[in-house]
Amino acid sequence: MANKMGNLWLMEQTSTGAFERIDLVQDYTSLIWDRYFQQAGSCELCLPATAAAVAKFTTGRFLARTNDSMICKIDKVEIQTNREKGDTLIISGSDAAKVLDQRIIWEREILKGNLETQIRKLVTDNLIDTGLRPAREAKGLTLGATSGITNTIDQQISYKNLGETIRTFALNYGFGYSMTRTDTGLSFQLLRTHDKSGKIIFSEKFKTLAETSYTRDQSGRANVALVGGAGEGAARARSVTGYAAGFERSEIFVNASGLTKACKWEDVRTAYPMITDIRRELTTPWKAVAWTRQTIQVFDGNQKAWIKQHYASANFFIGTDQKEYCSVYGEVCTIMSSGSPNDDTDCEWSDLIYSSWMASKGAEELTKKGERLIFTGTAVPDTVYTYREDYELGDVVQMRNRFDILADAMLVEVLECNDEKGYTIEPRFTYSLTWEAPEIPEGEEDLFEAEIVPTEAAISAIGAKAMDADSKAVTNAEAISSQDSRIGVVETNGTTIDDSSRTSTVQTGTWTVIRTITLPKGVWVLTGHLEYTEAFTQMAAMRFNSNSSAVSYAAARGTGIGGGGFNSSQIIEASSSTEVTLEAYQASGASKTISGNSKMRAVKVGSVL
């Protein structure tokens, strides 16, 4: 039947992924072709049921039009028999983009940088270049041209459905995607919207809008998310996204325990490509650290206040997509288990990066739970404006109903139908208002101090940076200006206090105070270097202690032989002015003389609220 839908072909996909024509489909009774901008479309074909047709239209084959880019895979074949009206064959198909829903994100992925680049990488990793799992590869699938989407992203993701993930990004960032037929198979690409709201107006008053639906819905609203990350009990990382007070406040808990701090050096290199050029390595006996300039997205005031509290070197700016970002220089990006890492070296992300992932997770869930303002409409086709000539799928136009409610709405669906009544088209526009980060009154941010609890690796990293290559205490503050984010850095130059001498001789059989420091209120990393001027043969040890009962910690100990020394580091949370000492112990033998190189240093890394 001659119509505006062009020729319809039955096709088959070869082993290489390319498509071959089987037959031109004619004499059908109806064809419904439903395309979407931000999800996979569908089609339905009805034709007389004959033996030849039943044999020809089988699941797994494809339907394609000559004047449309969507190609549909036949999912369902139904035969309805009727003595009076005749037998009918009903063929249902799904957009080839549905293949995205047939994959999960198989490995943990660090998505950092341009959003379009990261989505294309997800498709590549899970459908095109699947590494050691060739059975996951979709033959003939390639990436189309980039569309120039400028949004950026910084999050960790794993095991989610690929199609659902891309749809969520599309809805949250306002772009579309498609899977179109090429000479060699299929091509995936993202699609940008085009704003025509100043040129095209669909209105019930001017009879260009057939019907509308307007809904404002708060029934499922949530505006505050408590996000729980890695760890257990009091040590579990937590953050808050969103703000509201009183009866307007509606809270949810977001389980983000799947966000892991563990990573490989390859992940670090991928997320921060320049780190391989400027990383600093500190080897045995300390764990190595790597740091660089970090730029992360700021989702709301809670996260911003946390960064301001712990990272004095942070500066905030508005990105090209009108979102706020934070740039921090000289902060630890990751702790490495080796000073000479390869791609498989175990690493651990810092809290600065991890906090961004938790905030992103909270924002993602609140977006699903935001107040919904939904305004949809169906256009009257071919009146003032013509589909594909004046507007296309994904275009933004102005829509106004009879109550003068108006919005700049996106063309999200085009439903075409050709049957015995002729050709009809229903363009459907949608405008929806979802959650946006609120302004948070100063002083009412929800902050957690759990993030500043350091791990053993974090303390070791700080200690390493306070020692030079000869294991002597460093006196240059610049050398310890970069601190580990897990300890909540507030001063990147590290307010530094050096010790005062107390004695130069270690007595046998008792702890001897060698150096002492008085700490003002705050969170501090203590670093001690104890060096003898003569050889010794008995066990010796070094520890930090304090005359303040408010401070408690485990002793740090080390042993050595010959005229060498010991290094140790410890974290102290001083709730008030606190005296801390460096003490040494000689188990037996004669008293030993301490070298003038022995040193104790305190570096402020956080505040006690």
Tens digit of each residue's pLDDT (9 = 90 or more) over 483-541? 332 222 323 334 556 665 566 777 777 777 777 778 887 767 677 666 666 654 443 44
Residue 287 shares a structural domain with residue 257: yes
pLDDT tier at 185 (50, 70, 90 boundaries)? very high
Q: What is the pLDDT of residues 309-367, one digit of tens each?
A: 777 667 888 876 677 888 776 555 676 666 567 778 788 887 778 888 898 899 889 88
pLDDT tier at 555 (50, 70, 90 boundaries)? very low
CATH number at residue 386: 2.40.30
Output the CA torsion sign for 51, 56, 60, 66: negative
pLDDT score at 439: 83
Distance between CA atoms of residues 72 and 93, nearest Å:
5
Find the length of the chain: 609
Residue 399 shares a structural domain with residue 530: no
Domain count, the chain: 4
What range does the domain containing 280 cover?
Answer: 224-369
Residue 406 half-sphere exposure toward CB, CA atoms < 13 A: 15
Residue 518 shares a structural domain with residue 416: no
CATH number at residue 546: 2.60.120.40
Mean per-residue pLDDT, 556-572 = 48
Residue 461 shares a structural domain with residue 591: yes
Exposed/middle/buried for residue 357 (C-beta within 10 Å: 0-12, 13-18, 19+): buried
Whether residue 477 lies inside any domain: the answer is yes
User: CA-CA-CA-CA torsion for 134, 140, 144, 149, nearest 10 degrees?
Assistant: -30
CA 246 distance to own-chain centroid: 31
Measured between its terminal Cα atoms, the distance across the chain in Å is 77
Whether residue 341 lies inside any domain: the answer is yes
Tokens of 217: 């819905």
Q: Which of 128, 126, 134 is nearest to 159 (CA)?
A: 126
pLDDT score at 22: 96
Whether residue 175 lies inside any domain: the answer is no
Residue 22 shares a structural domain with residue 49: yes
Whether residue 50 lies inside any domain: the answer is yes
pLDDT tier at 482 (50, 70, 90 boundaries)? very low
Please say if the pLDDT value at position 465 is more than 50.
Answer: no
pLDDT score at 480: 33
Please give the residue that has the higher pLDDT: either 137 or 382.
137
Residue 291 shares a structural domain with residue 251: yes
Whether residue 180 lies inside any domain: the answer is no
The most confident of 7-21, 257-271, 292-306, 431-445, by mean pLDDT: 7-21
Whether residue 114 lies inside any domain: the answer is no
Q: What is the pLDDT of residues 54-69, one digit of tens each?
A: 999 999 999 999 999 9
pTM of the model: 0.67
Mean per-residue pLDDT, 73-87 = 92
Residue 201 shares a structural domain with residue 290: no
What average pLDDT is seen over the chain? 77
Residue 265 shares a structural domain with residue 296: yes
* Domain stop point among 69, 98, 127: 98
Residue 242 shares a structural domain with residue 206: no
pLDDT score at 380: 85
pLDDT tier at 435 (50, 70, 90 boundaries)? low
Strand pairing report for 395-400 and 201-203: parallel
pLDDT score at 415: 93
Please give the residue that has the higher pLDDT: either 297 or 414.
414
Whether residue 532 lies inside any domain: the answer is yes
Mean per-residue pLDDT, 412-419 = 92
Amino acid, res. 200: I
* H or E segment to which residue 598 belongs: none
Residue 477 shares a structural domain with residue 584: yes
Residue 311 shares a structural domain with residue 251: yes
Residue 595 shares a structural domain with residue 540: yes
Tokens of 177: 């995607």
Buried b (16+ CB within 10 A) or exposed e, 377-387: bbbbbeeebeb
Please give the residue that has the higher pLDDT: either 201 or 339.
201
Whether residue 304 lies inside any domain: the answer is yes
Please say if the pLDDT value at position 102 is more than 50.
Answer: yes
pLDDT score at 20: 96
Are 543 and 583 contacting, i.e. CB atoms less than 8 angstroms apart? yes
Task: Dump the DSSP string for 216-277.
Answer: EE-TT---EEEEE-SS-GGGS-EEEEE---GGG--EEEEE-TT--SEEEHHHHHHHSTTHHH
pLDDT-above-70 percentage for the chain: 72
* Domain stop point among 98, 115, 136: 98
